[in-house]
Every structure is written in structure tokens, then in C-alpha cells.
Amino acid sequence: MSKQPSIIVTGAAGFIGSVFVQYLNEQGLDQLILVDDFGVESKRKNWETKKYVKVVERQSFLTQLVDGVFDADIIVHLGARTDTTEFNYAVHEALNLEYSKALWLYAAQKNIPFIYASSAATYGAGENGYEDSHESVASLKPLNPYGVSKNEFDKWVLAQTIRPPYWAGLKFFNVYGPNEYHKGRMGSVIMHAFNQIQQTGKVKLFRSHRAGFEDGQQLRDFIYVKDIVAVLDWILHEMLGHEWAADKNGLYNLGTGKARSFYDLASNTFTAQGLTPQIEFIDMPEDIRATYQYFTEANMTKLRTAGYNKPFTSLEEGIRDYVVHYLLPVKGY
């Protein structure tokens, strides 16, 4: 890339989007068009110090696209309604499905690459496993409207004959790290564990209500946000440098490939602060027991085969970095 590319980043004021923008800035890239709902005051410190060409409100952005205001080289679509407790599907349909379709069609029309955030929520309870093959998408059974909307977009994408030259949909697993403070109850378990320790000196974890799993040994694939943006950056440069072959286009899991327990997570959050773990177990609420996931783990073969070869941050290293450099000093990325 001889000249700086013009990059559209949606969800730029959110958790992953704002970390990605900072990551690009650190590489000297500032020809960025940031898209989000910038009226959310709690997200302000996620974006106001970043370097960019323009910020555009989410709702007016599509109109400006149609009017030909932008001349972008690539779209990185990270914006979404991510609240898994929002059960009005129409909300998710508007933002996660219809909005995404409009961006896809624009990228196809302009013949520019398109990277977007899918989700491991598409896998539901995991009864079909965690393989990122295109053949399994139609049979997945997400557990909430958020997961349904993400899977519906994946299905729609795979059915399209008009496509961007290069594209990738990334199924993020359990992401944690700086710039998620505004997410409230939707924040990572690490953030909640840290807050519990600060307030009470203890962490409460759910008891197991399934045979074969000890209390606190429910397993998730936790991935540090810095690894997420490293993968995004690698794909972006592969696509802009025309090193991304069209046969690589598709859906990709993005986790570490190694499930870890909530107990490990909680104990490491204590250890990162120089504290002895104090963990208690409480009953899981009745209303979520039937659909609670006891195990998620990304199969990462496909991304590795595509050429991504950097190691992923271990849970111990990631929690330590997050706690020591961001949570304790109350800093963003």
C-alpha cells in the first residue's frame, strides 16, 4: 500500500471498534471514517482522542453512502446491537441484518473488500459443534434474538451471487479487554469479577447444574481484544494488498481454540492484583439453566490454514495485562 487506505469502521465508539481504531492509529493509519451512535455519552472516551477524517452518525451514514459522499477502500463492519437480553427481534433485525445487508451491497457495488463481525452466539448450545464450515450454518440454532440475527446475516451472505471481491465474517467468541466499561451487564466476566473484588473482596460463580461439570468448571473460549484486532488488521492488510485469494472468502471462527474455566478466570483476576482468590458459588437462576452453555471452544483450523500464524494471548497473560494496565488505573486503550 503506497498511499494510506481510506477505511470505514462501523461500531467505532464501541468496545472492539474503538480498540481497532486505536490499533490502526498506532500504525500511522488515520484516513478513517468512523460510524456509530456518537450521542451515547458513556462511549465518548472510546473515540474522542482517536485520529480520523470524519465521524458519521449511524443512521445518516447509509444515506450518505447512497449519495456517494465516501470513496473508501475497505469496510470493517463491527457495529451491531449486541445486547443478548434484548428479546425484541425487530431491534436486532434492523441493525444486525438489514443495516449489514446495505453495507454488503455497497461494498459489492464499489468492488471493495468487506470484513464484518459475526458471533459465536450463532452456535447456540453447541449441539452442532463449533465448526466454521459454511455447510453447518443453516442448521445452527441460536439461543437468543441477537444470535438469530447474526446467523440470518451469515445465511444471507452465503446465498448471495453479488459479492465484494474479498470478504470475511468473523465469529467472535468471548471477548474481553479495555474499552468495554460502557457495556454494563453485557461486559465480560473478567470486568464483572474485577468489580466484585473491588467492592466485596470476593467473586461469586454459578454452581454447576449438569453432571460431569464441577462448580465453576463451566468452560468458555475467552479471547483478548488485542488478539481480535490483530486478526482484523492482518485480514485488512491481506485484502488491501491483494494477497487474500478469493477462495479464502468466508466465515471464520475467532477464539483462541482453547476453552478455560470460569474458576481459572476468577482466580487469575485475583492473582493479577496480588490477592488470594476468594470464590463463592451460587445457584444459577432457574430461567437460564435450560439454555446455559457449559462449553464453547473455537475450532481455529480454518483461520490458521488461511495463513494467520501469530500465537493467541493466554488467559493468564490477557487478564494480567487488562487488570494491571487498564482496570486498576481506570484507563482505556
pLDDT of residue 66: 79
Average pLDDT over residues 51-63: 93
Q: Spell out the residues 6+ positions from residue 232 whose beta carbon is closer than 8 angstroms to its own.
A: 20, 23, 76, 115, 170
216 within a domain of the structure (yes/no): no
Compute the mean pLDDT over every residue in the chain, rounded to the nearest whole number.
Answer: 93
25 within a domain of the structure (yes/no): yes
In the chain, the amino acid numbered 269 is: T
Average pLDDT over residues 182-205: 93
In the chain, the amino acid numbered 119 is: S
For residue 252, the domain's CATH number is 3.40.50.720
Query: From CA 113, how far away is CA 6, in angstroms rounded?
Result: 12
Residue 104 pLDDT exceeds 60: yes
3-state secondary structure the chain: CCCCCCEEEECCCCHHHHHHHHHHHHCCCCCEEEEECCCCHHHHHHHCCCCCCEEEEHHHHHHHHHCCCCCCCEEEECCCCCCCCCCCHHHHHHHHHHHHHHHHHHHHHHCCCEEEEEEHHHHCCCCCCCCCCHHHHHHCCCCCHHHHHHHHHHHHHHHCCCCCCCEEEEEECEEECCCCHHHHHHCCHHHHHHHHHHHHCCEEEECCCCCCCCCCCCEECEEEHHHHHHHHHHHHHHHHCCCCCHHHCEEEEECCCCCEEHHHHHHHHHHCCCCCCCEEEECCCHHHHCCCCCECCCCCHHHHHHCCCCCCCCHHHHHHHHHHHHHCCCCCC
pTM: 0.94
86 within a domain of the structure (yes/no): yes
Average pLDDT over residues 243-247: 95
Residue 183 pLDDT exceeds 60: yes
267 within a domain of the structure (yes/no): no
187 within a domain of the structure (yes/no): no
Comparing 77-81, 128-132, 134-138, which segment has the lowest mean pLDDT? Answer: 77-81
150 within a domain of the structure (yes/no): yes
Query: From CA 14, how far away is CA 38, in angstroms rounded?
Result: 10
115 within a domain of the structure (yes/no): yes
- And the C-alpha cell for 50? 482517536
- And the C-alpha cell for 131? 465448526
- Catalytic amino acids? 146, 183
Residue 137 pLDDT exceeds 60: yes
**What's the pLDDT tens digit per position in 264-301?**
999 999 999 999 999 999 999 888 787 788 899 999 99
Domain that holds residue 247: 7-176+222-257+295-312
Number of domains into which the chain is organized? 1
In which band, very low, low, confident or very high, does the pLDDT at 2 lie, cut at 50, 70 and 90?
low
Helix axes 225-240, 15-26, angle to 10 degrees: 60
Question: Which residue bears the cell 469502521?
Answer: 9
Closest to 76 in 3D by CA, of 238, 196, 190? 238
234 within a domain of the structure (yes/no): yes
Q: Spell out the residues 6+ positions from residue 91 whose beta carbon is closer than 8 angstroms to its own.
A: 81, 145
